[in-house]
Structure 1
Amino acid sequence: MAATKRITVGAAVVALTAGLAGCSALGGTATEGAAGPRKAAPPKNVVRLIGDGSTAFTGAQPGLRKPERLAPGQKPPQFVVFSWDGAGEDSQKLFSHFRKVGKKHGATMTYFLSGVYLLPEDKSTLYDPPGHSPGRSDIGFNDTEGIRATVRELRGAWQEGNEIGTHFNGHFCGPESGVGTWSVEDWKSEITQAKAFVKKWKTNAGLGAESPLPFDYDKELIGARTPCLEGRKNFVQAASDLGWRYDTSGVNNQVWPGKDHGLWDLSLQMIPIPGRSFETLSMDYNFMVNQSGTTKGDPSMHQEWGDQFRDGMLEAFDRAYDGNRAPLVIGNHFESWNGQTYMRAIEETIAKVCGKTDVRCVSFRQLADWLDAQDPAQLAKLRTLKVGEAPKAGWPAFLAAQPASSARPSSPATPSAKPASAT
């Protein structure tokens, strides 16, 4: 993944009822969005190196807002999460580009790093993937300059308030030897190795003179998206055992999230495909497969396909913003599919929605922080709203404070059933 070298992925196709499951590939001042509570005080300038100095404790992450509980009757903010699978910097320079886009529009995002992007090819056998021989990866490895560039972007992204998650390592998909066949212990091994490549990138790449990543990855890493959205059941169990806080590997409708094995289920969502009679997942890959079926489709259709992706995201945003205010989750890849039309669509969507009143374009970590700060009974009530459904009597009545006589109900509020998976 150096400046002159492109790492590619064999994209596995996973059929859904109305689309395809996403598959991952590499391709100012940060804020939580246009509106929200005050920022936390800036951290003190403290640097404490960890291990070989690849990472460091530098204090609280800058650029974040302290989450606040909704007041009785208050309309929820509209959260939008833009996230990137297999984040790394290569010759396309899309990582650095979207950092600039985020800063321009007051958006923080989640970057899911593939651990092997910090592992040089000559050290590939350090990776021992479950079910495969050491040194095997379906997305390759990296070289020194690619690692240097990726670390530079990771460092800057975190300092701007973005989240660094994980997309694991070798990106194995499919029914025979993909991540869907992994046990809970296999997932724990993969997670341990993904952390190790981040915590030892200086030693592995021979870049001891470079500045460290400014976070403790053991504490930074609280969520993930699995390759091709496979293996979620055992991954969620492993993540729960490790104390993680969210997963975004499943398929949801645009409703308020609940928890699965103690993790917030912040999965991708089914959203409209304008002009089509069905919906698909909220990810560039899924629109691409439904449009061209290939990464190099008819150039005369590139503009139309990008516009369709953008307009689908905007339709999904509008029905939440004007309806149930459920968080909108968007997944992407730093890729040039169909002439980079999907990158254009994402950028135009960010510019359109992130400056609107009550909108907060945030990372998954920030969304999880906000959810954790809320009254569970209020969240349960929010989960009763269907896709695009606004409270009939208005938000003040819907989320009004409970009378004292009913402050302790005889039975707890029950969330509505989890949306049926499209798989």
Structure 2
Amino acid sequence: MAATKRIALGAVVTALVAGLAGCSGAGSSGIGKEAAPGKEEHSPAAAPKGAVKLIGDGSTAFTGAQPELPVATRLKPGQKPPQFVVFSWDGAGEDSQKLFSHFRGVAKKYDAKMTYFLSGVYLLPENRKALYDPPQHAAGRSDIGFNDTEGIRDTLTELRAAWLDGNEIGTHFNGHFCGPDGGVGTWSVEEWESEIAQAKAFVKNWKTNVPALKAEAPLPFDYDKELVGARTPCLEGQKNMVAAARTMGFRYDSSGVGNQVWPEKKDGVWDLPLQLVPVPGRAFETLSMDYNFMFNQSGTTKGDPSRHAYWGNQMRDGLLQAFDRAYNGNRAPLIIGNHFESWNGGTYMRAIEETIKTVCTQRDVRCVSFRQLADWLDAQGPATLAKLGTLKVGQKPEQGWQAFLAGTAPGKPAGSPVPARPTDQPAAKGADRSAD
């Protein structure tokens, strides 16, 4: 991939998480499908192979309902919630490291669905960069660069396969501008509307923008319908972005900072933030993202090689502690963010893979995409969500789950797909921002 990923470590704002001092604690969540015993409910099958309705210039197409997605249903009165875990990726392009394809394979191996937040400029070639007109910046400007033909081809291959595997393609927008000088946190609602429209356009028109790839197969989805959520660059600009996005079909946002508690809607959109999680051996918590662990450990992507293994183990163990306090506590969804990067010798990629292997294979655990989590939340009754929202980080109902949720009303299965697996059964410190 020709796109150059630049991280302005010196510009990282450390006060964001420091302001959350005293908010640490235990928490966890779960998600799952509540089909009748012995019977699985699934969403309609995808259209037969070859039944493709091209959209626009043929860069995208309607191919039927997304495959690999069972249907979300409501919890029954007194039923213990499943444990949801969301693994998500910012940028989501395939480059020479081949990390997109690698983790897509890992997801399939462990029956996990994930969210890939695509940066639109990863489908825009360098020689057409002037097509991008970013808010408050000159046309053709991007802080993460653009792509080349081969990088676009490889990214498209992974995007097709990821969607057909049941994963979600969200957006990380385009130029990844951070900070006070024209960064996304300074953009107006109208400027965000422009940025979102352009992010969609680069996905919907790659055949026009990359003539050498006209013979390539289309992406097998209608992006106007499939794009329902995002994470902003550096976790900045959430308020105005959501104000723009909720009028453009978005159902959730993952640009915030929060604790391991059950999520709620803000202005009609599910707020599914990154969460404060333990840093083993340290007296503070940090955000559940590889970048934040890296910043607190080394402050650079190329730290002391003798510490690489320790730092990776520290991140893995911190995420597993966060999982355990949710799984054995309030069952709040665990939200984890990552980048396809080999920072500090790739130790964080190892940590994430080991976390996936450990948690996604456990009983009553659902490793899902953000969209699938939103589907499940929307399928629940208001009384159920209100009760779950009373639980603090790591707090398990004293009287047990059956008594705790006994008064919630049952409901008919919802029509939204959610993958499933058989059921049974302290204040943060450091840089709580995302970088690409």
TM-score between the two structures when normalised by the length of structure 1: 0.90
Q: Say whether 1:240 aligns with 2:227.
A: no
What is the deviation of 1:203? Answer: 1.0
The higher relative CO (CA closer than 8 Å, separation ≥ 6) is in 2
Q: 1:7 to 1:264 in 2, by over 3 A?
A: same
Cα distance in 1 for partners of 2:17, 2:379 equals 35
Cα distance in 2 for partners of 1:370, 1:147 equals 33
What is the deviation of 1:65? Answer: 1.4
What is the deviation of 1:128? Answer: 0.1
Q: 1:6 to 1:51 in 2, by over 3 A?
A: closer
Q: Say whether 1:44 aligns with 2:47.
A: yes
Residue in structure 2 matched with residue 8 of structure 1 by the alignment: 5
Q: 1:195 to 1:335 in 2, by over 3 A?
A: same
Name the SS for the 2:337 alignment partner. strand
Counterpart AA for 1:184: V
What is the deviation of 1:14? Answer: 2.3
Residue in structure 1 matched with residue 417 of structure 2 by the alignment: none
Name the SS for the 1:171 alignment partner. coil
Q: 1:44 to 1:278 in 2, by over 3 A?
A: same
What is the deviation of 1:402? Answer: 5.5
Name the SS for the 1:300 alignment partner. helix
Conserved? CA contact 2:94–2:101, under 8 Å:
yes
Residue in structure 1 matched with residue 278 of structure 2 by the alignment: 272
What is the deviation of 1:283? Answer: 0.3
Counterpart AA for 1:121: E
Cα distance in 1 for partners of 2:122, 2:386 equals 40
Conserved? CA contact 2:384–2:408, under 8 Å:
no
CA RMSD of aligned residues (A): 2.1
Cα distance in 2 for partners of 1:291, 1:16 equals 17
Q: Paired residue for 2:199, among 194, 200, 210?
A: 194
Q: 1:304 to 1:390 in 2, by over 3 A?
A: same
Gap regions ≥5 residues in structure 2: 21-29, 410-425
Residue in structure 1 matched with residue 263 of structure 2 by the alignment: 257
Counterpart AA for 1:378: T
Counterpart AA for 2:224: D
What is the deviation of 1:15? Answer: 1.6
Conserved? CA contact 1:110–1:162, under 8 Å:
yes
Residue in structure 1 matched with residue 113 of structure 2 by the alignment: 108
Conserved? CA contact 2:32–2:81, under 8 Å:
no
Counterpart AA for 2:130: T
Cα distance in 2 for partners of 1:370, 1:420 equals 30
Query: In the TM superposition, what whole-angstrom CA distance separates every residue of 1:47-66 from its partner, at most 9, and x where no partner exists?
Result: 10000000000000001110
Cα distance in 2 for partners of 1:140, 1:68 equals 43
Residue in structure 2 matched with residue 63 of structure 1 by the alignment: 68
Residue in structure 2 matched with residue 406 of structure 1 by the alignment: none
Gap regions ≥5 residues in structure 1: 22-31, 404-418
Q: Say whether 1:119 aligns with 2:116.
A: no
Counterpart AA for 2:109: K
Name the SS for the 2:169 alignment partner. strand
Name the SS for the 2:246 alignment partner. helix
Conserved? CA contact 2:80–2:402, under 8 Å:
yes
* 1:270-349 to 2 correspondences below 5 Å: 270-349=276-355
TM-score between the two structures when normalised by the length of structure 2: 0.88
Conserved? CA contact 2:43–2:65, under 8 Å:
no
Counterpart AA for 1:372: D
What is the deviation of 1:18? Answer: 4.3
Query: In the TM superposition, what whole-angstrom CA distance separates every residue of 1:90-124 from its partner, at most 9, and x where no partner exists?
Result: 00000000000000000010000000000000000
* 1:374-385 to 2 correspondences below 5 Å: 374-385=380-391
What is the deviation of 1:243? Answer: 2.9
What is the deviation of 1:34? Answer: 8.7
Percent of residue pairs bearing the same amino acid type = 72
Conserved? CA contact 2:290–2:348, under 8 Å:
yes
Cα distance in 2 for partners of 1:19, 1:344 equals 28
Cα distance in 2 for partners of 1:19, 1:360 equals 31
Conserved? CA contact 1:19–1:286, under 8 Å:
no
Cα distance in 2 for partners of 1:65, 1:85 equals 26
Residue in structure 2 matched with residue 391 of structure 1 by the alignment: 397
